[in-house]
């Protein structure tokens, strides 16, 4: 299977020359709901279970805490290599190219453990668009979360009062409540790993796959690089290609407005060690 990345000509040249790709912040993508599909589905499940609005609001605040402190870094691919909407949206209105990566190679690369040279770990995931499948995927984690909620994890902590002053028993109950609150963090952390492979059904035409890594923003040390793009500064991490004994790129498709002759693209690919890559022109009649 081949998975395609649409890009402008400069990005294509840099990918080939550097033998690497950049996983960039998905929060700064063209979908304003990136990362929030999980949140919305989770809150819908809470509402359908009849949980009080106060507890629902506290859960929402906890989810928002994680959303604010993590970001999905992704490199976006599609099952379709010659799709007009993709040319328009992601390849300079058809002036760019589509790089067809070997899915078997990307899978093998993702399964390699991070090495001593700071090789970055990532997962290759197929984007899920069906809301029913969104619910199906997060249900096991929701059950774990619901159990903690039912046991009082998001309820008010016991406090001393005139009738019940601070004593050893109250101190123990406060400690138990704090431990129960901390249990909420685990399922939310697990859910954070799925936040960027669930997407709005409106994007289903893209048939998207993603190389995904999670960037956590706890403390002052953030392990990523930054690049300018238009009116944005985008966090990213680099994934380098290594020789795994199989082709990295299957084919390259030239956008409908791209002017480079296919044989020149082949020369470029060969000069950087990408052998036997099919190069062809888009079949889209778009000017």
Query: Which of 220, 280, 274 has its CA nearest to residue 248?
Result: 274
% of the chain surpassing 90 pLDDT: 44
Contacts 24+ apart (CB under 8 A), 121-124: 121/213, 122/23, 122/211, 122/212, 122/213, 122/239, 123/211, 123/212, 123/213, 124/209, 124/210, 124/211, 124/212
Mean pLDDT, rounded, of the chain: 85
Helix 185-192 vs helix 53-68: crossing angle, to nearest 10: 50
Determine how β-strand 249-254 pairs with β-strand 278-281: parallel
Which residues, listed in sequence order, are joined to residue 209 by a DSSP beta bridge? 77, 126
Mean pLDDT throughout 170-174?
Answer: 64
Angstrom distance (rounded) from CA 231 to CA 79: 30
Angstrom distance (rounded) from CA 239 to CA 242: 9
Query: Which of 211, 33, 197, 39 has its CA nearest to residue 128?
Result: 197
Q: Tell whether the model's pLDDT for residue 115 goes beyond 70.
A: no
The answer to whether position 65 is within a domain reads: yes
Q: Which residue has the higher pLDDT, 229 or 239?
A: 239
117 pLDDT tier (thresholds 50, 70, 90): very low
Count up the domains in the chain and report the number: 1
Q: What is the pLDDT of residue 116?
A: 42
Give the tens place of pLDDT for each residue, 190-216: 777 778 888 889 899 999 999 998 887
129: left (phi over 0), alpha (psi -120 to 50) or beta: alpha
DSSP state letter for 153: T
Q: Which residue has the higher pLDDT, 225 or 164?
A: 225
Mean pLDDT throughout 206-229?
Answer: 82
Mean pLDDT throughout 97-105?
Answer: 98
CB 238 within 8 A of CB 211: no
Q: Which residue has the higher pLDDT, 225 or 252?
A: 252
Alpha helices by DSSP H, listed for the chain, are 9-18, 37-48, 53-68, 84-90, 103-111, 131-150, 168-183, 185-192, 262-271
Q: What is the pLDDT of residue 146?
A: 84
Q: Which residue has the higher pLDDT, 65 or 116?
A: 65
Q: Using alpha carbons, list the distances in angstroms from residue 238 to 15, 89, 118, 137.
A: 11, 23, 10, 29
Domain span holding position 181 = 2-281
Q: What is the pLDDT of residue 44?
A: 85
The answer to whether position 286 is within a domain reads: no
The answer to whether position 126 is within a domain reads: yes
CB 287 within 8 A of CB 84: no
81 pLDDT tier (thresholds 50, 70, 90): very high
The answer to whether position 239 is within a domain reads: yes
Picking from 15-19, 59-63, 206-210, 240-244, which range would have the lowest pLDDT averaged per residue?
A: 59-63
Angstrom distance (rounded) from CA 37 to CA 5: 23
The answer to whether position 287 is within a domain reads: no
Give the tens place of pLDDT for each residue, 13-44: 999 999 999 999 888 776 667 767 888 888 88
Q: Tell whether the model's pLDDT for residue 286 goes beyond 60.
A: yes
The answer to whether position 90 is within a domain reads: yes
């Amino acid at each position: 299977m081949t998975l395609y990345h649409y890009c402008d000509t400069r990005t294509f040249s840099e990918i080939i020359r550097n033998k690497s790709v950049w996983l960039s912040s998905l929060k700064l993508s063209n979908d304003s709901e990136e990362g929030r599909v999980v949140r919305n589905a989770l809150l819908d499940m809470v509402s359908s279970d009849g949980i009080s609005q106060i507890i629902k609001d506290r859960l929402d605040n906890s989810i928002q805490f994680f959303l604010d402190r993590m970001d999905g870094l992704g490199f976006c691919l599609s099952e379709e290599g010659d799709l007009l909407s993709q040319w328009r949206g992601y390849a300079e209105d058809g002036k760019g190219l589509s790089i067809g990566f070997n899915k078997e190679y990307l899978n093998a690369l993702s399964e390699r453990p991070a090495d001593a040279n700071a090789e970055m770990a990532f997962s290759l995931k197929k984007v899920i668009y069906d809301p029913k499948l969104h619910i199906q995927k997060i249900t096991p984690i929701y059950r774990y979360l619901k159990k903690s909620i039912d046991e009082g994890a998001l309820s008010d902590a016991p406090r001393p009062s005139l009738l019940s002053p601070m004593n050893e028993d109250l101190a123990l109950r406060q400690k138990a409540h704090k431990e129960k609150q901390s249990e909420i963090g685990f399922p939310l952390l697990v859910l954070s790993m799925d936040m960027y492979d669930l997407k709005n059904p409106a994007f289903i035409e893209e048939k998207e796959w993603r190389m995904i890594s999670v960037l956590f923003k706890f403390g002052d040390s953030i392990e990523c690089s930054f690049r300018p793009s238009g009116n944005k500064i985008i966090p990213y991490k680099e994934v380098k290609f290594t020789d795994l004994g199989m082709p990295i790129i299957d084919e390259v498709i030239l956008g409908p407005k791209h002017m480079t002759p296919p044989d020149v693209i082949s020369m470029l690919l060969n000069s950087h060690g990408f052998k036997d890559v099919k190069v062809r022109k888009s079949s889209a009649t778009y000017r």
